[in-house]
Amino acid sequence: MTPDPDVHPKSFPQSPPSDLADPGLIVEHDWQAFSTIERMEDHWARPGWSDGHRAYYWMLTFPEAFDLIEQARYCQAKLAHLGMDSVPADGLHVTMVRIGSTDAVPDSKVRLLANMAEQLPQQSFSITAHPLAGSRGAVRFTLTPWTPLVGLHAALSAIGRQADIPGGSPTSAFRPHLGVQYSNQQCPAAPVVESVARLRTLAPVTLDITSVQLVELRRTLGPPAYRWHVVRSIPLRSAPSQSIQEG
């Protein structure tokens, strides 16, 4: 039997939802995957992230998404008893594409990649952050729809290949999400799932995606968190306005 190319054991969920545009189906798919895990893992116990390691990524960042920040803070307060590491208000992000370590990608390649991204035809779009689900290593918002996010991932991955840049996971392994808290130990998942379930009735938050950021990412200690500086912010093209036809 030929394996399903969209099944990736290291992704979570391993398989994508059957419809990338259906919010209800995506939300349920994320929750079903999270609600069946038995143990949480230490998110920070990752190979390749030694002290001082830096890497370039494409990310979506939300420094002025105040509704999202307020929702994240509320969820973090309600989950404080779990002892996880909260994502700072200025650290909320969606990881899109890994470009490569700063040692492997010279400045000239970074400039080339950013210039190529400015020529992409990708249009701005809106997504919704739904409370709340998670993975083995994090509690996170479910994002819907996946369609424009997957399209953007594919476009960024394509120009990375054209520029001969190392890159990261294929688009078929991409599972869009927005982290709120990171697990910092191995422990039973049941108490986490039960606590997260109480927050699933919160209202979703709409996010307007008008740009994508090329960042230099690092990981800090005490408390651990992801930090970055933006190398180049690439605006997405404005969606064409709908003309009103007079009868």
Residue 4: the pLDDT is 63
Domain boundaries, the chain: 23-230
pLDDT at residue 1 tops 70: no
pLDDT band at 49 (very low <50, low <70, confident <90, very high): confident
Considering the domain 23-230, what is its CATH architecture?
Alpha-Beta Complex (3.90)
- Nearest residue to 227 via CA among 69, 45, 93, 102: 93
pLDDT at residue 243 tops 50: no
- Residue with tokens 């189906």, as numbered in its chain: 25
| Lowest-pLDDT range of 140-149, 173-182, 202-211, 236-245 | 236-245
Residue 89: the pLDDT is 96
Give the number of other CB atoms < 10 A from CB of residue 191.
12
Residues 196-202, mean pLDDT to the nearest whole number: 97
Residue 241: the pLDDT is 59
Residues 5-24, mean pLDDT to the nearest whole number: 93
- Residue with tokens 């509704």, as numbered in its chain: 67
* Mean pLDDT across the chain: 93
Residues 60-80, mean pLDDT to the nearest whole number: 97
